[in-house]
């Protein structure tokens, strides 16, 4: 009897507890729903404002903001495109290498950084063009895992973790740019470094450890297996749906005070992610350029024709203005050439690379820009490949190549897609934008080429006298009659064969 009464009380208590938890869950969901909606509505109104002030998104504004999503090939674009088009003096302070900076520098024209879209709060919206590159979410997550391991493995030259951490802090004190200063690697690399040292210490305790598995994504003795990496709180907060959160401005590096709460709500309640996705899509719509890592050649060509051509046009225009100013000043007084040389040396412009000088003098074309990019990107890939091989030697036999990615189990690939559901949809949308922009630019190139051909022909015929024009016309007529004659003979021959 006593047991029955206790059981009933326990059951009632359990029901009450479940009710309280359910009510609390509903309250929390309601709070999250309101927080996400408030942020999305504010973002939508600012997006509408941007579209109103920048009616022609294809027109390059005074400042180009390269929103670099990690592991999309952005470093190649920065070094092989942007640095060929812009002088060092035109880069915003601490651009690309550092995340916190003052963009209000005079003549600041280029801002390239891993910072998210929330940075637009600090920039002049009506004078800023945004560009980005998007990558297939599965490839981006795998590349993030691989790069975290690669950079962390470089520290294994040290005898222990304390020594490695001390050396890392010493490098940063010397004001040398380190991967550890850059988001998200300042979180991911130390975390992976600690894991690699712990596993190395465990192997030393065990003695000789023979690793026979050839799958680098599942070498428990050597490094954190991929499937475990994907399920960690760090991966959930920084890596999964990283592109969507970065373009929406909601990373853990955001300038928005409400970013953490909104991101946390979306991570907890998947249904709320649709609002964030829609904001990210609108942001892509308003961008000057959206590239795709997988469409490497086509993306580079699109960049050269959309962004590169406009930067080069601005260079020509500014050079003409500067030339006119110099001509007027020379008429008024004489300027010392040695003084000019000194100012160039002081500003560091005398040591600019030859291809950059060519761009600044207005001699570079879209074609030469592409040639420079191809040579530069090939060299960069080789040097990065060499460095990667040397880093991964320290965790041999683990190695990451295109071929080893085929060993990632299907269920793990599906796990990545599920965890990155927003990025999957955003990537599809980016592909649609890319196809439309590519078709539009291709048509413009064809029209432009046709116009140039007509102008060239007009020039050629315009320089001919009447006698030469009659000669050309007669030759064209004879060629046309000869073509008709050959075509008629072929038709008769084919009839005979039948």
Q: Is the peptide bond before 407 cis (omega within 30 degrees of 0)?
A: no
Q: Nearest to residue 219, comparing CAs of 153, 136, 141, 135?
A: 153
The active-site residue, picked from 146, 150, 425, 437, is 146
Neighbours of 30 (CB within 10 A): 10
For 127, what's the count of Cα atoms within 13 Å in the CB-facing half-sphere?
12
Closest by CA position to 140, among listed 244, 282, 216, 223 = 244
Task: Say if CB 214 and CB 238 are below 8 A apart.
Answer: no
DSSP string computed for 109-164: -EEEES--GGGGGGS-GGGEEEEEEE--HHHHHHHHHHHHHHHHHGGGGSSSHHHH
Question: What is the four-CA torsion angle of 112, 443, 48, 123, rounded to 10 degrees?
Answer: 20
Catalytic residue among 75, 94, 125, 200: 125
Rounded distance between C-alpha atoms, residue 439 and residue 460, angstroms = 32
Reduced to 3 states (helix: H, G, I; strand: E, B; else coil), residue 463 is coil
Nearest partner of 116 among 136, 102, 130, judged by Cα: 130
Residues 6+ apart with CB under 8 A from 195: 152, 223, 224
Catalytic residue check, 275:
no
Name the nearest CA neighbour of 277 among 429, 137, 426: 426
Whether 98 and 181 have beta carbons less than 8 Å apart is answered as yes
Burial class (CB in 10 A: 0-12, 13-18, 19+), 185: buried
Crossing angle of helices 366-392 and 309-332, rounded to 10°: 120
Residues 218 and 49: their CA atoms lie apart, in Å, by 49
Buried b (16+ CB within 10 A) or exposed e, 234-257: ebebbbbbbbbbbbbbbbebbbbe
**Are 135 and 427 spatial neighbours (Cβ–Cβ below 8 Å)?**
yes
In angstroms, the CA 456 to CA 15 distance is 86
Is residue 146 part of the annotated active site? The answer reads yes
Residue 63 DSSP class: E
What does the angle CA 173 – CA 176 – CA 178 come to, to the nearest 5 degrees? 95
Positions marked active-site: 125, 146
């Amino acid at each position: 009897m006593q047991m029955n009464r206790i059981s009933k009380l326990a059951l009632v208590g359990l029901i009450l507890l479940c009710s309280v938890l359910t009510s609390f869950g509903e309250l929390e969901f309601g709070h999250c729903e309101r927080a996400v909606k408030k942020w999305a509505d504010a973002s939508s109104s600012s997006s509408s404002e941007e579209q109103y002030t920048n009616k022609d998104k294809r027109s390059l504004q005074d400042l180009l903001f390269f929103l670099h999503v990690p592991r999309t090939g952005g470093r190649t674009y920065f070094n092989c495109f942007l640095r060929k088009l812009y002088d060092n003096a035109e880069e915003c302070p601490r651009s690309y290498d550092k995340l916190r900076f003052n963009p209000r520098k005079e003549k600041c024209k280029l801002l390239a950084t891993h910072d998210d879209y929330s940075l637009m709060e600090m920039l002049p919206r009506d004078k800023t063009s945004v560009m980005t590159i998007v990558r297939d979410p599965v490839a981006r997550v795998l590349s993030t895992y691989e790069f975290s391991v690669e950079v962390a493995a470089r520290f294994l030259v040290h005898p222990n973790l304390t020594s490695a951490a001390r050396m890392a802090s010493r490098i940063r004190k010397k004001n040398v740019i380190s991967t550890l200063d850059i988001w998200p690697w300042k979180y991911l690399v130390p975390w992976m470094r600690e894991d690699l040292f712990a596993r190395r210490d465990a192997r030393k305790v065990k003695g000789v450890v023979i690793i026979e598995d050839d799958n680098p994504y599942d070498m428990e003795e050597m490094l954190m297996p991929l499937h475990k990496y994907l399920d960690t709180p760090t991966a959930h907060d920084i890596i999964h749906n990283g592109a969507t959160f970065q373009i929406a401005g909601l990373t853990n590096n955001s300038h928005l005070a409400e970013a953490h709460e909104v991101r946390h709500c979306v991570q907890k309640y998947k249904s709320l992610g649709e609002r964030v996705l829609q904001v990210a899509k609108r942001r892509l719509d308003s961008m000057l350029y959206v590239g795709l890592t997988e469409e490497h050649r086509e993306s580079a060509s699109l960049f050269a024709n959309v962004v590169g051509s406009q930067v080069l046009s601005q260079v020509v225009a500014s050079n003409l203005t500067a030339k006119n100013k110099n001509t007027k000043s020379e008429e008024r007084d004489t300027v010392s050439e040695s003084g000019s040389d000194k100012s160039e040396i002081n500003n560091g412009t005398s040591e600019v690379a030859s291809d950059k000088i060519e761009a600044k003098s207005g001699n570079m074309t879209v074609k030469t820009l592409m040639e420079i990019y191809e040579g530069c990107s090939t060299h960069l890939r080789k040097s990065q490949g060499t460095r990667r091989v040397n880093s991964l030697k320290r965790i041999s036999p683990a190695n990451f190549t295109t071929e080893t990615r085929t060993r990632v189990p299907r269920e793990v690939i599906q796990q990545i897609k599920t965890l990155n559901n927003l990025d999957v949809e955003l990537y599809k949308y980016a592909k649609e934008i890319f196809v439309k922009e590519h078709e539009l630019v291709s048509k413009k190139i064809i029209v432009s080429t046709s116009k140039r051909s007509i102008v060239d022909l007009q020039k050629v015929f315009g320089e001919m006298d009447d006698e030469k024009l009659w000669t050309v016309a007669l030759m064209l007529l004879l060629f046309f009659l000869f073509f008709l004659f050959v075509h008629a003979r072929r038709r008769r021959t084919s009839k005979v064969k039948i």
